[in-house]
């Protein structure tokens, strides 16, 4: 807590110095905006209840696992069940230090205990509900507080409304699937990108899908003609667009960004809960995600299907104007 308080004080001092400058060039405005974003995250971290700030690994003495020298640090969002859990377990078996994320304290602690007790790797749990952008900010602030490096970020958390005919909104007033599947990951990546760049070589993996739908920029929140699969499809296409945009933005920094369709209708609780019949195994999806984390030959700015670079079903990811429109919208939504 003291470290977070000092960080907030330093950020506020920096923002005051920037504000006092007479000139307002674009560089100063950008730095001021970034500083206030850090201030907001640290303030939320200080103000949040302890359970919401960070939930360290359980155990007899409730000790918190920390990475060893040379141990890779990997954050997998949505890793308390399904594909994310399978990826986290596999990485722990390879000796990595995992940042486990999810909404369920019980499932998160159980996985952390399992990893810390029975694998070469180690783990720590962070709770955050991506239906709230403030909780995403708290999560990012906690990671920045607790770690001086981040080698891999896997944006895996997601929901699948499928046959649900009811349009739902996040706590921020956005269409829920768009926020949980895409916008929360966009914000988290934005806040953690400086740490990833400082840790280079580093990787960002967006877990997307070949199930996609073009984004209607006149109705992104689907206030007209809502369908669950349309909501899911446009959120997943947005993740592919985000990865391609990130690859361009991070060129030459040692950070790579790719998107992946892990597998179709894996045997996970999400698929079964949506009333769909599984058509592939979570282990197949796990291996396709691990490829983008481990392989030296994946490059950057690609969308992988079945372990190979592919193309999205619709053209927006390859349209610079469409990507710019999504980027502008995303920036507007996360800065509100």
Q: Catalogue the active-site residues.
A: 232
Would you list the DSSP string of 135-201?
A: HHHHHHHHHHHH-S---EEEE------TT-----B-TTSSBHHHIIIIIHHHHHHHHHHHHHHHT-S
Whole-number Å distance between alpha carbons of 27 and 204: 26
End-to-end CA distance of the chain: 27
Contacts of 153 (CB under 8 A, 6+ apart): 74, 75, 188, 189, 192, 196, 202, 203, 204, 205
Residue entry with tokens 């507080």:
145
Q: Are 301 and 248 in contact (CB under 8 A)?
A: yes
Q: Which of 157, 280, 178 is nearest to 226 (CA)?
A: 178
| Strand duo 255-261 + 97-102: pairing | unpaired
């Amino acid at each position: 807590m003291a470290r977070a308080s000092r960080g907030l004080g330093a950020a506020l001092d920096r923002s005051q110095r920037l504000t006092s400058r007479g000139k307002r060039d674009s560089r100063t405005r950008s730095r001021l905006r970034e500083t206030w974003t850090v201030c907001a995250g640290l303030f939320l971290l200080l103000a949040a209840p302890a359970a919401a700030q960070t939930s360290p690994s359980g155990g007899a003495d409730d000790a918190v696992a920390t990475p060893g020298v040379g141990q890779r640090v990997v954050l997998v969002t949505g890793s308390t069940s399904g594909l994310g859990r399978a990826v986290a377990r596999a990485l722990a078996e390879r000796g990595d230090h995992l940042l486990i994320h999810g909404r369920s304290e019980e499932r998160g602690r159980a996985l952390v205990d399992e990893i810390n007790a029975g694998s070469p790797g180690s783990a720590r749990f962070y709770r955050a509900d991506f239906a709230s952008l403030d909780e995403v900010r708290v999560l990012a602030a906690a990671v920045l507080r607790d770690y001086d490096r981040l080698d891999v970020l896997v944006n895996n958390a997601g929901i699948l409304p499928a046959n649900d005919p009811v349009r739902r909104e996040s706590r921020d007033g956005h269409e829920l699937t768009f926020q949980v599947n895409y916008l929360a990951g966009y914000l988290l990546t934005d806040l953690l990108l400086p740490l990833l760049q400082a840790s280079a070589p580093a990787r960002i993996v967006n877990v997307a899908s070949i199930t996609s739908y073009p984004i209607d920029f006149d109705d992104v929140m689907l206030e007209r003609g809502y369908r669950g699969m349309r909501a899911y499809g446009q959120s997943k296409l947005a993740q592919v667009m985000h990865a391609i945009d990130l690859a361009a933005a991070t060129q030459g920094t040692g950070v790579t960004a790719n998107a992946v369709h892990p597998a179709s209708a894996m045997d996970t609780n999400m698929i079964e809960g949506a009333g769909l019949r599984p058509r592939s195994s979570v282990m197949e999806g796990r291996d396709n995600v691990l490829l983008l984390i481990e392989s030296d030959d994946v490059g950057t700015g690609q969308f992988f299907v079945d372990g190979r670079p592919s193309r999205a079903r619709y053209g927006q990811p390859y349209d610079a104007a469409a990507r710019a429109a999504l980027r502008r919208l995303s920036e507007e939504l996360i800065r509100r």
